[in-house]
Amino acid sequence: MTELVAGPAYLVRGASLYGEERADLLIEGGRFTAVGSGLDADGATVVEADGLVALPGLVDVHTHLREPGREDAETVETGTRAAALGGYTAVHAMANSNPVADTAGVVEQVHSLGRRAGWVDVRPVGAVTVGLAGEQLAELGAMADSAARVRMFSDDGICVHDPVLMRRALEYVKAFDGVVAQHAQEPRLTAGAQMNEGAVSAVLGLPGWPAVAEESIIARDVLLAEHVGSRLHVCHVSTAGSVEIVRWAKSRGVNVTAEVTPHHLWLTDELVRSYDPVYKVNPPLRTQTDVEALRAALADGTIDVVGTDHAPHPSEHKECEWAQAAMGMTGLETALSVVQHAMVETGLLDWRGVARAMSELPARIGRLADQGRPLAAGEPANLVLVDPAARWTVDPATQATKGRNSPFAGRELPGRVVATFFHGHPTVLDGALNTPHPGSAGER
Amino acid sequence: MRHLLSTQDLSLADAIQILDTAEEMAAVNDREVKKLPALRGRTVVNLFFEDSTRTRISFEAAAKRLSADVINFAAKGSSVSKGESLKDTAQTLEAIGADAVVIRHSASGAPHRLATTDWIDAAVVNAGDGTHEHPTQALLDAFTLRRHLARVAGTPSSGLDLAGARVVIVGDILHSRVARSNVWLLTTLGAKVTLVAPPTLLPIGVEQWPCEVSYDLDDALADAPDAVMMLRVQAERMNASYFPSTAEYSRLWGLGDERFARFAEPEFRDTVILHPGPMVRGLEISSAAADSDRSQVLRQVANGVSVRMAVLYLLMSAKESAR
């Protein structure tokens, strides 16, 4: 993207880069101008980072910002504030808005709302099919060529289940280096599904969402991607069996990437015994065996990235019977802490691995040239500073997202985002929102 | 006990206390004046989101025989889009001063929501929620079986459990709240339960339940169980390919005349037939079986009132003493 105007300079002093060696980072004009020890502040504002881990600004491949259409649930403004507080500098806004983001007009609107808000880069995801209806390809090329420069396409929330349509979408996006991000859910196997199908659903009497409904679609899609030589991204992988299929596909050289949500790295369907719809999500919470397989897969790279699937809902859509409740959980403000809990504190992933799964690879999948870059001189100054020793208790009422549907409410989590720099500007300082990027939209 | 939401969390002592209290209530029901002053001035709301005249009038009779004031609330539609939410309904009942809410709902877990949120303070009785549980049905089944076994043994039933009893439950286990409640309660009371169904009508995960599972009804009947419980099967299930035809279902899993003829054999002398109603005659049970002297169906209905009196009495007196 383009350069931004010269803002005030910042010197981040004594941060532990990727949790490894300590260094100072000098930020000027939106870029790191020097990285090393004992840098001279020389008029720059000093941010003391002793004991903090520095990572490239996080990139979410899977965010629901709800605007346009469901501004009661979230807006680009509130959702991107939440993102900044969570350490993000870019998010991919899913297409299931109202109207659906299936035209150049809608993706440009979302893109421009993001630029106006100024908290993170908002990268719209384009719908694969018109109206998410699964019948006719949306104008993928027009969205790719638009000002929003869409590269990721998804009907997320709904599976592109027609095999011919999925094949065509995979083929078509090759023209502009796009990727189809599939919500893998065989619809006939999941009609009326309410939770993971297994021992718990049997007892609770809730219609089951079987693992095979996800795995069969992933198996089909990796074969299609191989056949047409295109790029497939699998959203929110949730089962041990899916991991095996993705591992097999990668071993064959299929160009597939996979994502896991923070909640699937920790929570299980045992929580559904409460019938509290805060635990209702799609794909559903699975079993401990699945959680362990997902953690191992993220650690060994079979699963490439963590995507939040941040899905805010108004409270009335959760304060009701389970069957009538909306599916989805908030996640932007808890993702990094949950990953620290599930992956770092278990020894499965180091901070360099976190940077890879939450910044570098997400940026590469979305083809964001100036995100997920190394913490090095000359690179765009997208940065998050984390205090890994901090502990905090999740209180949804105090979060920036409009959604109060956090499954981690009341839990104590490790790690706190102390500061987020977005193209050289601190959107978060001292753990609190600072100001949006002052540059006008055209300057970023 | 603050609420009655499921039989899974019912201890053996609690279950026997309910059954024994129901025996005392049954004595009242045998009197000419069938009324106790126990819940005078207290309000019981029958909150029915699903039509069920049988269960509703049973709870209504139970509450009235305990002198409670009864409000029947038939709520239609319950999603945010379709009308008043469960939360608003619950808060309305709280404001009206309901001491107990008997809730019937098509959504599994709806009674849990009432009991675990701060929407309402009343005691909650699950009168059937979706395909989850129907605890008072299981209690009345256990009560009926316990009385039968006591009669055969020539002993009073109070204080007894169901140790050693063998119960076969046949039919649509997957969609049955009655089956779930009975599996937990009967096994807690010491009975051995065998479920019999086509594999399509058994939930994934049933192998972890504390019971036997069989696909063959004749096998399950071979050692003359103490009770055979036939569950209602909806003919519509056929359309979703749970079974190929009602005729095939009846032949393989129904208690038809041929199968019922075995009940004339000596080892079946004390085998009874239970059915939670309403029966689909000709599908899961033949008229000959349903109308025979082995059928406990009408006793179950009568016992239902006693059991529900016991539940309301125990919950509402517990709530009183907690205040």
Q: Where are the domains of chain B?
A: 12-133+302-322, 135-297
Question: Containing H/E element for A417?
Answer: strand A412-422
Structure confidence by residue, pLDDT tens digits, A288-340: 999 999 999 999 999 999 999 999 999 999 999 999 999 999 999 999 999 99
To the question of domain A57-366 being in CATH 3.40.50.12280, the answer is no
Residues, chain B? 323
Residues of A annotated as catalytic (active site), given as ranges = 309
Domain ranges in chain A are 10-54+377-439, 57-366
Establish if B109 touches chain A: CB-CB under 8 angstroms: yes
Question: Containing H/E element for A241?
Answer: helix A240-251
Alpha-carbon A96 to chain mean position: 15
Give yes or no on whether B12-133+302-322 and B135-297 have one common fold: yes
- Given A199, A205, A274, which is nearest B108 (Cβ)? A205
- pLDDT at position B234 is 83
In angstroms, what separates the C-alpha of B306 from chain A's closest C-alpha? Answer: 27
The residue of chain A with its CA nearest to that of B206 is A202
Residue ranges in chain B assigned as alpha helix (H)? 12-29, 53-65, 86-96, 110-116, 135-153, 177-188, 217-221, 246-253, 257-261, 287-290, 297-322
The label of the residue with tokens 């808890």 reads A334
Rounded to 5 degrees, φ, ψ at B303 are -65, -25
CB contact under 8 A, A206 and B105: no
Extract the residue ranges of chain B whose pLDDT is less than 70: 77-82, 319-323
Establish if B75 touches chain A: CB-CB under 8 angstroms: no
CB contact under 8 A, A205 and B205: no
The label of the residue with tokens 């239902």 reads B304
Question: Contact A254/A232 with Cβ under 8 angstroms?
Answer: yes
CB contact under 8 A, A320 and B206: no
Q: Residues in chain A whose beta carbon is closer than 8 A to a beta carbon of chain B?
A: 194, 197-208, 210, 274-276, 316-317, 319-324
- pLDDT at position A31 is 97
The rounded distance, in Å, linking the Cα atoms of A123 and A382 is 15
In angstroms, what separates the C-alpha of B88 from chain A's closest C-alpha? Answer: 10
Question: Contact B174/B125 with Cβ under 8 angstroms?
Answer: no
- Given B78, B206, B208, which is nearest A321 (Cβ)? B78
Domain B135-297: CATH superfamily, name plus number: Aspartate/ornithine carbamoyltransferase (3.40.50.1370)
- pLDDT at position A2 is 42
- pLDDT at position B79 is 44
- Given B110, B204, B209, which is nearest A321 (Cβ)? B110
- pLDDT at position B236 is 77
Domain B12-133+302-322: CATH superfamily, name plus number: Aspartate/ornithine carbamoyltransferase (3.40.50.1370)
- Given B80, B86, B132, which is nearest A205 (Cβ)? B132
Residues of A in contact with B116 (CB under 8 A): 274-276
Structure confidence by residue, pLDDT tens digits, A257-281: 999 999 999 999 999 999 999 999 9
β-pairing, B192-196 with B212-214?
parallel
- Given B87, B132, B209, which is nearest A319 (Cβ)? B87
Establish if B19 touches chain A: CB-CB under 8 angstroms: no
Which one of 3.30.479.30, 3.30.420.10, 3.20.20.60, 2.30.40.10 gives the CATH number of domain A10-54+377-439?
Answer: 2.30.40.10
Task: Using alpha carbons, select from B241, B253, B244 the residue that is nearest to residue B285.
Answer: B253
CB contact under 8 A, B78 and A202: no
CB contact under 8 A, B107 and A322: yes
Task: Using alpha carbons, select from A325, A153, A189, A183 the residue that is nearest to residue A261.
Answer: A183
Residues of B in contact with A317 (CB under 8 A): 80
- pLDDT at position A416 is 98
Establish if B107 touches chain A: CB-CB under 8 angstroms: yes
- Given B113, B180, B203, which is nearest A321 (Cβ)? B113
Query: Choosing among A70, A200, A204, which should be mutated to test the B contact, i.e. which has the most B CBs within 10 A?
Result: A204
Q: If 0-12 CB within 10 Å is exposed, 13-18 middle and 19+ buried, where does residue B218 land? A: exposed
CB contact under 8 A, B204 and A210: yes
pLDDT (tens, 9 = 90+) of chain A, 444 residues, equals 444 455 789 999 999 999 999 999 999 999 999 999 999 988 999 999 999 999 999 999 999 999 999 999 999 999 999 999 999 999 999 999 999 999 999 999 999 999 999 999 999 999 999 999 999 999 999 999 999 999 999 999 999 999 999 999 999 999 999 999 999 999 999 999 999 999 999 999 999 999 999 999 999 999 999 999 999 999 999 999 999 999 999 999 999 999 999 999 999 999 999 999 999 999 999 999 999 999 999 999 999 999 999 999 999 999 999 999 999 999 999 999 999 999 999 999 999 999 999 999 999 999 999 999 999 999 999 999 999 999 999 999 999 999 999 999 999 999 999 999 999 999 999 999 999 999 854 445
Alpha-carbon A292 to chain mean position: 20
For the beta carbon of residue A412, count every other beta carbon within 10 angstroms. 11
Give the gyration radius of chain A's Cα atoms. Answer: 21
ipTM of the complex: 0.94
pTM of the model: 0.95
Query: Choosing among B7, B103, B112, which should be mutated to test the A contact, i.e. which has the most A CBs within 10 A?
Result: B112
Structure confidence by residue, pLDDT tens digits, A12-35: 999 999 999 999 999 999 999 999
Establish if B177 touches chain A: CB-CB under 8 angstroms: yes
Q: What is the mean pLDDT of chain A?
A: 96
CB contact under 8 A, A198 and B109: no
Residues of A in contact with B133 (CB under 8 A): 205
Torsion (CA) A251, A257, A262, A264 in degrees, nearest 10: -60
